[in-house]
Amino acid sequence: MDTYGNRWIGTSAICAFALVLSGVGKAAVGPVDPFSQNKRIGRGVNILGYDPIWRSAEKARFKDRHFGLIKEAGFDSVRINLHPFAHMDPNHDWRLSDPWLKVLDWAVGQALANDLVVILDCHEFTAMGTDPQANHDRFLAFWRQIATRYKDWPSSVMFELLNEPSRRLTADMWNAYLAEALVIIRQTNPSRTVIIGPGNYNSIGSLKDLRLPEDDRNIIVTVHYYSPMEFTHQGASWVEGYRDKTGVQWLGSPEEKARVVKDFEQAQAWAKEHNRPIFLGEFGAYDAGPMDSRVRYTAFVARTAEGLGWSWAYWQFDSDFVVYDMAKDQWVAPILNALMGR
């Protein structure tokens, strides 16, 4: 990041953090109830995962004002998708770079200053799924640094251990890794709400394999939902078998709705059995799908989740599956209205 970028991010982060410390969005760090925390998450949106801001402030798509726009639109929270591994120094105990941390401080500070709950999501599922053993120490080093850095920040800042553990990161291996990460986090953040999901890409069907420490109750469990994939990922170039699909509809038929309800009820049964709140951390339908079907699907998934008392975060603000059109500098009104029930 160039000198100008460092100045801009540094100043903006300092100002935002000053607002937080002065009481804007501030909440005491102490014992909290995960179900109450889940209500605070409410309606959220995923942000910043693929923004050039992490490499250069001057090339950033996302600006200060977007946090205000998100709040004004009716969202309660932001899930910040973090890809830290490329910004960690293997020769110095995987230390995170200062420019990267400045961007993160800016994002967290601006979110809190706009009364948005913040979820810090380690989004390194590709690296962890490709070679979990090689990335084990880097993963733990990330949480050791983040936990220390944010230990005195408000309870409205929450940690999500890893997005979509999958592939070579097996369920048994993930249970071991999450336990290690929790021990590290609890050393400095005994009362921080931590979000953890099951393997196989946070799938509902894999909740049965998730093992959480019974004595740690300040945990929210996250699942993701993109069923049916032939609809939600039609035209997606990165998904084998779906990139050439077009025109697949979701009509909201009784059968289509029943499938969603059945899946969600499976997760709800697990949640009741284990007394854990559920956060639907990702859902949506790719931009290539028919808009009317996308609207029906998005609205039904959101309302079904809310009816069960879950929080949710739409995938995502910009890049793809967009709810905000950066080129036109405006909301994608049909999707936003579907999310908000308008």
Residue 242 is part of a domain; what is its CATH number?
3.20.20.80
Residues of the domain holding 193:
3-20+36-340
The verdict on residue 31 lying in a domain is: no
Q: What's the whole-model pTM score?
A: 0.93
The verdict on residue 207 lying in a domain is: yes
For the chain, what is the domain count? Answer: 1
Task: Report the candidate in 189, 188, 187, 208 with the shortest Cα–Cα distance to residue 198.
Answer: 208
The verdict on residue 26 lying in a domain is: no
The verdict on residue 25 lying in a domain is: no
The verdict on residue 156 lying in a domain is: yes
The verdict on residue 146 lying in a domain is: yes
Q: What is the mean pLDDT of the chain?
A: 93
pLDDT in tens, the chain (342 residues): 333 244 445 555 545 555 554 444 344 456 789 999 999 999 999 999 999 999 998 899 999 999 999 999 999 999 999 999 999 999 999 999 999 999 999 999 999 999 999 999 999 999 999 999 999 999 999 999 999 999 999 999 999 999 999 999 999 999 999 999 999 999 999 999 999 999 999 999 999 999 999 999 999 999 999 999 999 999 999 988 898 899 999 999 999 999 999 999 999 999 999 999 999 999 999 999 999 999 999 999 999 999 999 999 999 999 999 999 999 999 999 999 999 999
Q: Tell me the C-alpha distance between 124 and 163, whole Å.
A: 7
The verdict on residue 265 lying in a domain is: yes
Are 138 and 128 in contact by the 8 Å Cβ rule? The answer is no
Burial code (b: 16+ CB inside 10 Å, e: under 16) for 57-89 equals beebbbebebbebbbebebbbbbbbbbbbebbe
The verdict on residue 49 lying in a domain is: yes
Q: Is the peptide bond before 133 cis (omega within 30 degrees of 0)?
A: no
